[in-house]
Structure 1
C-alpha cells in the first residue's frame, strides 16, 4: 500500500489520523509517517484497513438505527454531536471518533422529520432563548 493509498483510504473512511491509529493500535505519528512516505507501510495494513471498514459499516448501521429510534421518541428530536476539540470518554464515539458520530447523526436526521443536530452548547443557547 502506498502512502497516497493509505491517505485516500483513511479520508474515505472519515477518520482522523488519531482515530485510525487508535483503531489499529498505533499512534498518530506512525500514521502520519506512513502517509508522508517517511516510512513504508506494513504489508498487513491493507487487510487491517478492510477490517476497520467492516467495523465502521456495522457500527454505523447499528448506531443510525438506534439514534433514529431515540429521535422518533423525543418530542423535540435532537442529536447532540461533539466539536473537534471534544473527546467523549466512552462507547463507540470515543472509539470511532467524533467525525464518525457526526456522520451517524446526519444519516439519522435525514430519517426523522424535524430532527436537529447540534452541540450541547448549541442546544443550551437555543433553550435559553425560549
Structure 2
C-alpha cells in the first residue's frame, strides 16, 4: 500500500548502549491499523558509544533522518522515544560542535516528539537494535 500523503508518519526510535534502531510507520486511512514502512538499525562507532545517553539518542535521530530523508521531508513525523532529543538540543546552554550541527540537520524536518508510554511498535525496534 502506498503512503497516505495527509497522514503523519511515526518514527519509533530505540537506543541501547552500543546500538540503535528505528521503525518508520504510518496508520492506514481508517487510523486503526499501523503498518511498518522501513526498518533501520546500526551499531555505534567507538566514538559514538562514548556519548552520553541523550547524545546517543540525538545521534541516532540524526542518522535515521539521513537514511529516511526521502520520507521525512514530505510528512509530519511523530518521534516516539524514551528521551526527547529535540527538547535537549533546543534547550542546550552550551552547544558543542556536534549538537549545533545536529540542530541544523534536523531543522529541515517537521518532527514532533510524542512521549512513549506503552507503544506497540517499540517491541519490533528493540528486537532490531539487539540484532544490529
How would you bin the TM-score normalised by the shorter chain?
under 0.3
Which TM-score applies when normalising by structure 1?
0.27
Which TM-score applies when normalising by structure 2?
0.27
More helix by share: 1
More strand by share: 2
Higher radius of gyration, 1 or 2: 1
